[in-house]
Structure 1
Amino acid sequence: MTSREISAFAAEEERRVLSLKPVLAPAHGRYGDHPHQVYDSWPAEDPGAPLVLLLHGGYWRYDRMHLTPFASWLAKQGFSVLLPGFRRSGGAGGYPETFDDIARIVDTLPAGRPYVLAGHCSGGHLALWCAARALLPTDSPWHTTSLPTAVLALAPLTDLDATRRDRLSDDAALQLLGGPALFEERMPYVDPLTLLKGQGRTGVRTVLLHGAVDEEVPLSQFADYAAVDDDLDTVVLPGIGHYTLIEPDAPGAIAVADVMRRLAAEAAGVAEAAQASESESESESAKVAAVAVAEPQRP
């Protein structure tokens, strides 16, 4: 972030969580040829465990290693977890490569399973963007109507214009979109708040969760997004900051896992209902076809 003062509480929280030792995943995979197009996998013991696709934060610049302790902890809570890397700002990513990778991740890695797409900080921005892809112009390469089953945005950056205005993390939003000359042109395609204005809903079950004493992402971003999303559920955790949402065994992380569990159960119920409806429709079609075959042909 920019050189602004934060409390001793926030500084200690950040130091404690970001100094956790990375956890090696039991399985790994690739979704592309670039070295950053990889993912870590923590399969749950139960093959029917709910799937969580986790997008890391770091203002679109940093890698996923700081989130591996949380991903490993979630697996112990009964989730199957996928933690992908992607091309990032300041290197091979930014606009459009970061968004190309995120679109490919959500379009391929779940492999047809219902899942909760969760993201922290800038990862929350990317998760909310994925939920809004159906609102993009139909000629956009990122437009799709195949959306995440559910989204959980943890202390997300929801408003790129405000992120630029507040100069968060040394102008991270400007770097993401290629600098001041390109920012206004590109922002409408990748900003969740802009995409929602005038639409009011994405059609994706979404929960936005924020710590009440977060000093990293201004609470105004949380409130401004909630004001335009008609279907959004919001959760504010008293006494919780930015980083303890992803700190294993911390009260914030436990609350996050509880919400994930609820969203996963809802997603499974929706998937089962859709499958039952499809089976019923196929059965009715088969009956109609059988009757048609059985009817004698009239001369």
Structure 2
Amino acid sequence: MSRIPSAFAAEEERRVLSIRPVLAPVHRKYGSHPHQVYDLWPAEDPDAPVVMLLHGGYWRYDRMHLTPFAAHLAQHGLTTILPGFRRSGGAGGYPATFDDIALAVDTITDGRPFVLAGHCSGGHLALWAGARALLPEDSPWYTTRLPSAVLGLAPLTDLQATIRDDLSDGAGLQLLGGADQVEARLPLVDPLTILREKGSTGVRTVVLHGEVDEEVPLGQFSDYAAVHHDAELVTLPGIGHYTLIEPGSKASVAVIDTLKRLSSPQP
């Protein structure tokens, strides 16, 4: 799909993605592959809630654009983990990207409760990870040890629609390995398809997006909420796609408040 952004959207994208990356105080490995690493920003309180943050970029780009926001979350009392993973166009795509997300989610926090959050395609991966208990039990990604909550920030929720709309020049097909692989692989890695018959992951889930997001079609958010019956859909008026991960923005306040709420025990 050819996307001609408005002046508002183009300026937002330029402003947020041009923020200088922030080096993490802690850098570690969670596996043997060079991309199986993560950055850690500990909050001042050692008992602070833990957030694992998955970056966007249509499964192709690295995590550096999200480092300022990760550091910002830590400054606001959330110990923040930002993992790297194998990506489309290089060592990743199906199945390696999903292998890495599963390994990161299963091992990095060493059993400590955490909220799994992701922006755009990282939101897709977060929603997928929260639905792994719905996969066939013989799947290598099946598990019943899930994040305590999931927050999708303007997430891609529907890979079939992503492919149909040709978002980011074929990113969905690239992730799945080509058109001939879609039918077989979609039921294993697409949040909306996985949920269609089940209706819930059993994990507290919030989808938060801007009202004027021009990057991800708004139907991706509402369609997911219609299938995941107990997910919460939050729409921020006047907010676009990238402001959600802009440190200090009005949208970032809503993100932090939501993460803290999801980190608290459910009443």
CA distance in 2, matches of 1:184, 1:178: 11
Counterpart of 2:214, as a letter, is E
* Structure 2 residue aligned with 1:191: 190
**What is the aligned-residue identity percentage?**
71
* Structure 1 residue aligned with 2:159: 160
Runs (4+) of structure 1 exceeding 6 A deviation are none
- Residues paired across the two proteins, number: 267
* Structure 2 residue aligned with 1:225: 224
* Structure 2 residue aligned with 1:143: 142
* Structure 2 residue aligned with 1:101: 100
Task: Check if 1:238 corresponds to 2:242.
Answer: no
CA distance in 2, matches of 1:11, 1:222: 21
How much does 1:39 deviate? Answer: 0.2
* Structure 1 residue aligned with 2:201: 202
The within-5 A match list for 1:71-90 is 71-90=70-89
If the length of structure 2 is used for normalisation, what is the TM-score?
0.99
* Structure 2 residue aligned with 1:42: 41
Report the structure number with the largest CA radius of gyration.
1
Deviations 1:159-213 (A, max 9, x none): 0000000000001000000011111211110000000001001000000101000
* Structure 2 residue aligned with 1:65: 64
CA distance in 2, matches of 1:135, 1:79: 29
CA distance in 2, matches of 1:218, 1:3: 13
CA distance in 2, matches of 1:83, 1:266: 23
* Structure 1 residue aligned with 2:111: 112
3-state DSSP class of the match of 1:183? helix
CA distance in 1, matches of 2:84, 2:13: 21
How much does 1:46 deviate? Answer: 0.5
CA distance in 1, matches of 2:110, 2:230: 26
* Structure 2 residue aligned with 1:296: none
CA distance in 1, matches of 2:265, 2:13: 33
Structure 2 contact 222–233 (Cα < 8 Å) conserved: no
Structure 2 contact 115–151 (Cα < 8 Å) conserved: yes
How much does 1:266 deviate? Answer: 2.5
Counterpart of 1:84, as a letter, is P
CA distance in 2, matches of 1:212, 1:112: 36
Counterpart of 1:230, as a letter, is H
CA distance in 1, matches of 2:125, 2:238: 26
Deviations 1:119-138 (A, max 9, x none): 00000000000111011011
If the length of structure 1 is used for normalisation, what is the TM-score?
0.88
Counterpart of 1:214, as a letter, is D
How much does 1:6 deviate? Answer: 1.1
Counterpart of 2:16, as a letter, is V
Counterpart of 1:262, as a letter, is R
* Structure 2 residue aligned with 1:291: none
Structure 2 contact 153–244 (Cα < 8 Å) conserved: yes
Structure 2 contact 131–194 (Cα < 8 Å) conserved: yes
Task: Check if 1:19 corresponds to 2:18.
Answer: yes
CA distance in 2, matches of 1:174, 1:183: 7
CA distance in 1, matches of 2:84, 2:146: 20
CA distance in 2, matches of 1:76, 1:119: 19
CA distance in 1, matches of 2:173, 2:91: 16
* Structure 2 residue aligned with 1:53: 52
CA distance in 2, matches of 1:229, 1:142: 20
3-state DSSP class of the match of 1:82? strand
Deviations 1:244-270 (A, max 9, x none): 000000011111001001111126x8x
CA distance in 1, matches of 2:7, 2:162: 23
Flag the structure with higher helix content: 1
CA distance in 2, matches of 1:185, 1:265: 38
* Structure 2 residue aligned with 1:178: 177
Point out where structure 1 has 5 or more consecutive residues left out of the alignment. 270-299
